[in-house]
């Protein structure tokens, strides 16, 4: 592991740091206006009675440097659980130190330890540096797949009327 680097599971007391990284990621992705999460929402979603996701926190010399937010999914074809990486972010001034790679390595280790058959994530198509980084690690783009999403009013309508 890289000198000065520690990867630890985030705890409830880390919520302000996690939220800060989420906002930094959204700003980087030019989507800050899409963030409706709050620290209270994250506290409930990550540490409430039914946690929806987990967070790994990267510390460089004891200071927060990056995060990986992930949750379990399931592959019917493999018949095994998987891990879906929702967000990976390393502070801009901490990049180039191997922190992102260390977070992905830890996720891969967790996937293997938990009997998972795969590790998945999405990346914005304009984010060439991240795409090249992932390819260097052996990840392959699934270009034949299209991601769909139902959210907001469309989700409300679908749930209420099926239309």
The string of pLDDT tens digits covering residues 117-137 is: 999 999 999 999 999 999 999
Write down the domain spans for the chain.
Answer: 5-161
CATH class (in words) of the domain with range 5-161: alpha beta
**Residue range 41-72, pLDDT digits in tens:** 999 999 999 999 999 999 999 999 999 999 99
Kindly list the catalytic residues: 134
Q: What is the pLDDT of residues 92-118, one digit of tens each?
A: 999 999 999 999 999 999 999 999 999
The 3-class secondary structure across 12-53, one letter per residue, is HHHHHHHHHHHHHHHHHCCCHHHCCCCHHHHHHHHHCCCCCC
pLDDT of residue 23: 98
**What pLDDT score does 2 carry?**
52
């Amino acid at each position: 592991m890289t000198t000065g680097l520690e990867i630890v599971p985030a705890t409830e007391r880390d919520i302000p740091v996690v939220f800060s990284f989420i906002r930094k990621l959204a700003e980087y992705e030019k989507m800050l206006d899409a963030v409706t999460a709050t620290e209270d929402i994250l506290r409930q979603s990550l540490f409430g009675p039914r946690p929806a996701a987990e967070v790994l926190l990267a510390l460089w010399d004891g200071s927060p440097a990056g995060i990986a937010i992930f949750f379990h999914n399931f592959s019917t074809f493999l018949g095994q659980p998987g891990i879906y990486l929702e967000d990976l972010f390393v502070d801009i001034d901490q990049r180039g130190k191997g922190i992102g790679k260390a977070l992905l390595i830890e996720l891969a280790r967790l996937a293997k330890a938990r009997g998972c058959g795969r590790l998945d994530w999405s990346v914005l198509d304009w984010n060439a540096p991240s795409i090249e980084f992932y390819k260097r690690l052996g990840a392959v783009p699934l270009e034949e797949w299209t991601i769909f999403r139902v959210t907001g009013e469309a989700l409300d309508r679908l749930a209420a009327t099926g239309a």
